[in-house]
Chain A
Amino acid sequence: MENEPQAAKPPEACCGTGPKLIFACSGAADVGKISDLAARKLTAEGVGKMFCLAGIGGRVSGIMETTRVATAILAIDGCPLDCARKTLEQGGFAKYEHIRLGDLGMEKGKTAPTDESVAKVVDLGKSRLAG
């Protein structure tokens, strides 16, 4: 991977509309890495803001309250365990868009985190968060 995208930038939203938040499973496997890189690239391109899934799991108040006012939520899961989706649901968030990399033909343990594989997820993420 060349020029890996940067992490989420700080907020600038004062009195504006809620953000579009992106939660990646960021799991240990290759597909977890792809989910993470795609979320960072979507953030870098201004499509939404990557946010900390661990903050939902840990019920961190600032992250929970910010997520409650999000205008859209995108969960990106690398594998069929759906950790990001389940974490959001257990945190009380029922309305979200969901991408599972397996549905794009990316199999856990057999998918290199290349620019091409990340781009595929980014493209789908853009369409899910459009509008």
Chain B
Amino acid sequence: MKLIQILGTGCPKCEKLKHNAEEAVKLSGTEATVEKITDIGQITSFGVMMTPALVIDGEVKAVGKVLSPEEIKKFLE
């Protein structure tokens, strides 16, 4: 089971990234949980200075970008 975390304070781009991550999970058929992190303290604990950011199993994969479901899917394979 993979853990996908979306770091962001709730702006439309953060929501879009969460949606795309959920789509990527469906596309890949991977078992994964998608959760949103909005607490600024938790966000900075990843070393991230810009949002939205995508984290998979503790590894930051992208910062400041809204990746497509296909792009996110590659990280899940």
Contact = CB atoms under 8 A, between A and B. Distances in A.
A120 interface: no
Interface size of B as a range: 20 to 34
A14 B53 contact: no
Interface of A: 10-16, 18-19, 21, 49, 51-52, 55, 60-66, 68-69
Given A10-B41, A11-B40, A14-B11, A69 B48 contact: no
Interface in B1-50: 8-9, 11-14, 40-41, 43-44, 46-50
B61 A61 contact: yes
B47 A15 contact: no
A49 B49 contact: yes
A13 B47 contact: no
B65 A69 contact: yes
A15 B53 CA distance: 10
Nearest to A49: B49
B63 to A, nearest CB: 4
A11 to B, nearest CB: 4
Contacts of A18: 50, 64
Given A61-B60, A65-B53, A10 B40 contact: yes
Q: Which 3 A-B pairs have the closest CB atoms?
A: A62-B47, A61-B60, A62-B46
Contacts of B64: 13, 15, 18, 66, 69
B76 interface: no
B51 A15 contact: yes
Contact of A66 (B8, B11, B48, B61): B48
Interface string B51-77: 111010001111111000000000000
Given A61-B59, A68-B63, A55 B40 contact: no
B11 A15 contact: yes
Which of A51, A66, A68 counts the most chain B CB atoms within 10 A? A66
Contacts of B48: 11, 62, 65-66
B70 to A, nearest CB: 19
